[in-house]
Amino acid sequence: MTSASKIQGRLLYAQSGGVTAVINATAAGVIEAARAKGVPVYAARNGILGALREELIDTGKESKAAIAALRHTPGGAFGSCRYKLKSLDANRAEYERLIEVFRAHDIRWFLYNGGNDSADTALKISQLGKAMNYDIRCIGVPKTVDNDLAVTDCCPGFGSVAKYTAVSTLEASLDVASMADTSTKVFILEVMGRHAGWIAAAAGLAGEGADAPPHIILFPERAFDETAFLAKVKATVERVGWCTVVASEGLRNAEGQFLAEAGTRDAFGHSQLGGVAPVLASLVKERLGYKYHWALPDYLQRSARHLASKTDADQAYAVGQAAVDYALAGMNAVMPVIVRSSDMPYRWKIEPAPLHKIANREKKMPSGFLTRDGFGITAAARRYLAPLIQGEAHPPHGRDGLPKYGRLKNASVTKKLPTFEH
């Protein structure tokens, strides 16, 4: 290891992929830790694209208060992007450009805050740096509401969307319960989760027992069984008086088609994207005749910083700090991951894990987390999920009744290189 004191240079931080309620808490952890060590931090504007385009932001122009406010501000403060670098073979020029930009701005540490794609990119850059004889330390920093990163026990961003989903399920169910005698009998909440049902599973924390909502959870891990679903809706309405259903957007039928795409067509005859909830609602209405309502919170669920989990916000900050510690300690191609040492009381710590164990892998929900009928979560799932939504992390509110979310200046760094066509 190289001691930090011998290295001069700057640290570059970039946000990647879908943002979360707490990705900026990670940014705060990074910047505050680096400042404490006297290391200047640049951020890439709009993620890795900013690095390719040499669109860099000097976070040194931001006040201490502005950086502190990131800790409670949702969205991605420097911009993020959906852009996956091709393989080294397919587009070596992009990787070489990154090294060029790093060299031009004396970037010696690169922290890439994202999911498994980003871990892969960080890994490749670290390898190319070596090949190109440029001394760069690459650290992946975990972030994803999907909770699908390997090695880490959970992913910063997930705990808050989990809390949003559990609380929303509870609240909407209280509403439905009080109106069911003459109004809505079936309420369907559609949540994110294209490939894995982690978010849907979290809705299960809203209640426990057969009569408590949610009565039915539909996971992408299980093919949709229309007959079993309708039978359970009917039995629940007859027993409880109403029924709350939580459905993953990624729910598929037995043929593997997304239900959201199989169901509806707009007036032009085009498939109506986005919405498994209305498809299920139509089915309930057609077959059972129950009055329904459905909700699709979409981005509201992953940006709801006002309802963040304190556990999640703390972990998001901690991985940012740890990433700086690892980088300055000379580590390379690692990610700070969350290690759980106890469920109850919940105890966790941060440790480094090699990126090659995380890059491009996907953590599935254990099959032991789903009940036998596939419509609920087990005690094991509750043990895992419960700590992740614990604690409140209310943002400060202004006198206007709105959360006081921060806003950065995002001052551009002067470019030094010719434009790069990507």
> Can you spell out the DSSP letters for 375-409?
SSB-HHHHHHHGGGG-SB-PPPB-TTSSB------
> Could you tell me which residues come within 8 angstroms of residue 395 by beta carbon, excluding any fewer than 6 positions away?
72, 73, 305, 306, 308, 403, 404, 405
User: CB of residue 79 vs a second copy: minimum separation in angstroms?
Assistant: 5
Rg (CA), the chain: 23
- Is residue 172 near a second copy by the rule CB under 8 A? yes
Name which position in 37, 61, 64, 82 contacts a second copy (CB under 8 A). Answer: 82
Spatial separation of the C-alpha atoms in residues 403 and 212, rounded to whole Å = 32
Residues between 199 and 258 with contacts to a second copy, criterion CB under 8 A: 205-206
- Widest Cα–Cα separation across the chain: 73
Spatial separation of the C-alpha atoms in residues 37 and 32, rounded to whole Å = 9
Instruction: Residue 320: name the closest of 72, 50, 13, 44 by CA.
Output: 13
Q: How many CB atoms lie within 10 A of CB 1?
A: 8
Name which position in 177, 228, 230, 339 contacts a second copy (CB under 8 A). Answer: 177
- Is residue 391 near a second copy by the rule CB under 8 A? yes
* DSSP state letter for 252: B
Tell me if residue 146 is catalytic: yes
* DSSP state letter for 209: S
Q: Which is nearer to a second copy, 126 or 168 (CB)?
A: 168
Q: Which is nearer to a second copy, 199 or 281 (CB)?
A: 281
Q: Which is nearer to a second copy, 390 or 412 (CB)?
A: 390
Stretch of 58-66, 182-190, 315-323, 331-339 contacting a second copy, by CB under 8 A = 182-190
Spatial separation of the C-alpha atoms in residues 83 and 307, rounded to whole Å = 29
User: CB of residue 230 vs a second copy: minimum separation in angstroms?
Assistant: 16
- Is residue 287 near a second copy by the rule CB under 8 A? no
Q: Which is nearer to a second copy, 187 or 326 (CB)?
A: 187
Contact 369, 381 (CB under 8 A): yes
Residues between 4 and 63 with contacts to a second copy, criterion CB under 8 A: 15, 18-19, 21, 46, 49
Query: Exposed e or buried b for every residue in 318-333, given b needs 16+ CB within 10 A?
Result: bbbbbbbbbbbeebbb
The 298-317 contact track toward a second copy, x by CB under 8 A, reads xxx-xxxxxx-x-x------
Q: Are strands 347-354 and 137-142 parallel, antiparallel or unpaired?
A: unpaired
Spatial separation of the C-alpha atoms in residues 139 and 113, rounded to whole Å = 9
- Is residue 332 near a second copy by the rule CB under 8 A? no
- Is residue 369 near a second copy by the rule CB under 8 A? no
Crossing angle between the packed helical segments 158-179 and 310-328, to the nearest 10 degrees: 170
User: CB of residue 348 vs a second copy: minimum separation in angstroms?
Assistant: 15
User: CB of residue 5 vs a second copy: minimum separation in angstroms?
Assistant: 35
Q: Which is nearer to a second copy, 356 or 415 (CB)?
A: 415
Spatial separation of the C-alpha atoms in residues 340 and 152, rounded to whole Å = 9
- Is residue 167 near a second copy by the rule CB under 8 A? yes
User: CB of residue 322 vs a second copy: minimum separation in angstroms?
Assistant: 23
Residues between 85 and 144 with contacts to a second copy, criterion CB under 8 A: none
Q: Which is nearer to a second copy, 118 or 303 (CB)?
A: 303
Instruction: Residue 140: name the closest of 314, 363, 357, 349 by CA.
Output: 357
The site that binds a second copy (CB under 8 A) totals a number of residues, namely 83
Stretch of 62-70, 104-112, 175-183, 321-329 contacting a second copy, by CB under 8 A = 175-183
Contact 159, 340 (CB under 8 A): no
Q: Which is nearer to a second copy, 36 or 300 (CB)?
A: 300
Q: Which is nearer to a second copy, 272 or 371 (CB)?
A: 272
Instruction: Residue 245: name the closest of 215, 211, 220 by CA.
Output: 215
User: CB of residue 40 vs a second copy: minimum separation in angstroms?
Assistant: 23
Name which position in 63, 91, 183, 257 contacts a second copy (CB under 8 A). Answer: 183
- Is residue 70 near a second copy by the rule CB under 8 A? no
**From 58, 146, 312, 314, active-site residue:** 146
- Is residue 181 near a second copy by the rule CB under 8 A? yes
Name which position in 182, 342, 414, 419 contacts a second copy (CB under 8 A). Answer: 182
The 259-278 contact track toward a second copy, x by CB under 8 A, reads ---xxxxxxx-x-x-xx--x
Enzyme catalytic residues: 146
